[in-house]
Amino acid sequence: MRYWNEPIETMSRDELRSIQDTRLRRTVEKIYTNVEHYRKKMQDKGLLPGDVRGAEDLRLLPFSTKQDLRDTYPYGMFSAPLDQITRIHASSGTTGKQTVVGYTAKDIEIWAECMARCLVMAGQDKRSRVQVSYGYGLFTGGLGAHYGAERLGASTIPTSSGNTQRQIVIMRDFGSTCLCCTPSYALFIAETMEDMGIKKEELSLQAGCFGAEPWTEGMRRQIEDRLGIRAHDIYGLSEIMGPSVSQDCECKAGLHVWEDYFIPEIIDPATGEVLPDGAQGEIVFTTISKEGMPLIRYRTRDISSLTHEVCACGRTHARMGRLKGRTDDMLIIRGVNVFPSQIESVLLGFSNVSPNYRIIVEREGLLDQMTIELEINETLFADTVKGMEDAERGIRRQLDSVLGITSRVRIVEKGTIDRSMGKAVRVIDKRNLIG
């Protein structure tokens, strides 16, 4: 099986454009009518739905950001009434206010369609066994991949994340052919397999769809080599859909964005100006089929680039470049979103003064490791080793429970953290994501 939906995946750019024009017009009318927040934003720009005739008028429309979702928390951006919403997902919020996304039954169907296309790109079909090791829950990874695998007709194995040894036994015994998880977890699986003395030849694994965190070509080569598979880069974000907004094909020359559902743009994050193919900037998506929560020109804060050239695989859908980073200070650590402000609020609880700290992220072996270096202060300093270790442990536990991932805490001397720029450099990301 080469394509899941050949007529759509390989349709001419003109036909694709025509679909986009129609669907965009419909989406703009719908949000103008149903979403007060969007209506106001359009009115502020003096725009009426009829002003948007097609995709070429996209740039007339206002951007949307995560802030819009926060301002209208929880349901203010929904375009469909709640009785039509069949699924709600949420992504971790910085200040306790998470962003909420609602899907109608049709949205879930389209999501499954996108994921099925991605799985076929990864060489899977209905005889395949797809092991979903993304977490199941409010995070879109698990259920997103799951519904796509079922849509494909593959035998879907919902292992969710964690319990790695058992995952590996299942993978071997059940003959999983495709693994869906974060790339760092894939490497962790490979390492655990080696510890268990299980060889890649004992597996039936052919491919993997790996995403939800930034990774590199170097990691891809390692995963492919150690698991004996083809590793695909899958991209998504809950606001737009979840995993399967785009994925790379066997050519590994960029991630195909399913343009019959999402229109991508690259903008200059400082000016908002739309940039041409090949230029690097912030990737922005407009959903043109969603019913539950359509978003117009949603700023992802992910740095990428676009090409609209037809790919050697025969697909005509635009390709986005591998993610180059993020425009804001959010860190993605082991697939989990971490904001320095969350860390700061925990540290504040342990000091009477504003904490001076920095966050160091490294990739140790295969997994991301975060260390919080915190300058000693009156509140923290105990005269005994036990007292100091208790303080460190208390902070670490609190961070673990707030962030949902483990970190290290290291108390350092006063004056260790550079303040030469007036403001301390808070984040030092030593993960080498260029290779």
Partner 1 sequence: MNIVQLSVFVENKVGRLRAITKVLADAGVNILTMSLADTTDFGILRFIADDPDKARNVLSDHDVMCRATDVVAVRVAHTPGALNELLGILGEEGIQIEYMYNYTELAGDGGLACVIILRLSDQANAAELLRGRGIKLEN
- From candidates 329, 415, 419, 432, binder to partner 1 by CB under 8 A: 415
- From candidates 12, 45, 381, 430, binder to partner 1 by CB under 8 A: 381
* Residues near partner 1 (CB under 8 A), total: 16
The stretch near partner 1 (CB under 8 A) out of 21-29, 204-212, 335-343, 413-421 is 413-421
Q: Which of 317, 324, 321 is nearest to 256 (CA)?
A: 317
Listing from the earlier edge strand, what are the strands of the sheet with 367-375? 408-412, 367-375, 357-364, 427-429
Nearer to partner 1, 219 or 380 (CB): 380
> Does 195 contact partner 1 by CB under 8 A?
no
> Does 412 contact partner 1 by CB under 8 A?
yes
> Does 383 contact partner 1 by CB under 8 A?
yes
> Does 266 contact partner 1 by CB under 8 A?
no
> Does 384 contact partner 1 by CB under 8 A?
yes
- From candidates 45, 410, 419, 430, binder to partner 1 by CB under 8 A: 410
> Does 420 contact partner 1 by CB under 8 A?
no
- From candidates 14, 44, 83, 413, binder to partner 1 by CB under 8 A: 413
> Does 77 contact partner 1 by CB under 8 A?
no
> Does 377 contact partner 1 by CB under 8 A?
yes
The stretch near partner 1 (CB under 8 A) out of 50-58, 211-219, 333-341, 376-384 is 376-384
> Does 414 contact partner 1 by CB under 8 A?
yes
The stretch near partner 1 (CB under 8 A) out of 46-54, 120-128, 373-381, 427-435 is 373-381
Region label for 314, one of left (φ > 0), alpha (ψ between -120 and 50) or beta (otherwise):
left
Q: Which two tokens stand for residue 45?
A: 């720009």
The stretch near partner 1 (CB under 8 A) out of 16-24, 325-333, 335-343, 406-414 is 406-414
Strand, helix or coil at 285? strand
DSSP string, 56-108: GGGGGSPPB-HHHHHHTTTTTT--S-GGGEEEEEEE--SSS--EEEEEEHHHH
Nearer to partner 1, 271 or 384 (CB): 384
Q: Which two tokens stand for residue 364?
A: 């140790």
Contact 364, 334 (CB under 8 A): no
Nearer to partner 1, 173 or 383 (CB): 383
Nearer to partner 1, 386 or 423 (CB): 386
Q: Which of 376, 382, 377, 370 is nearest to 343 (CA)?
A: 370
Q: Which residue has the tokens 């673990």?
A: 400
The distance of closest approach from Cβ of residue 382 to partner 1 in the complex, given in angstroms and rounded to an integer, is 8
> Does 44 contact partner 1 by CB under 8 A?
no
Nearer to partner 1, 112 or 347 (CB): 347
Cα 32 to Cα 29, 68, 170, 206, 294: the distances in Å are 5, 15, 49, 46, 11
Q: Which of 259, 255, 246 is nearest to 16 (CA)?
A: 259
The distance of closest approach from Cβ of residue 389 to partner 1 in the complex, given in angstroms and rounded to an integer, is 7
Query: Is there a cis peptide before residue 183, judged by omega within 30 degrees of 0?
Result: no
The distance of closest approach from Cβ of residue 396 to partner 1 in the complex, given in angstroms and rounded to an integer, is 13
> Does 385 contact partner 1 by CB under 8 A?
yes
The distance of closest approach from Cβ of residue 413 to partner 1 in the complex, given in angstroms and rounded to an integer, is 5
- Write down the H helix ranges in 291-384: 340-348
Nearer to partner 1, 239 or 392 (CB): 392
Kind and range of the H or E run holding 291 = none
Q: Which of 246, 222, 380 is nearest to 302 (CA)?
A: 246
The distance of closest approach from Cβ of residue 381 to partner 1 in the complex, given in angstroms and rounded to an integer, is 5
Q: What is the DSSP letter of 278?
A: T
> Does 173 contact partner 1 by CB under 8 A?
no
Listing from the earlier edge strand, what are the strands of the sheet with 281-287? 262-267, 281-287, 298-304, 325-326
Q: Which residues are near partner 1 by CB under 8 A?
A: 376-378, 381, 383-385, 388-389, 410-416
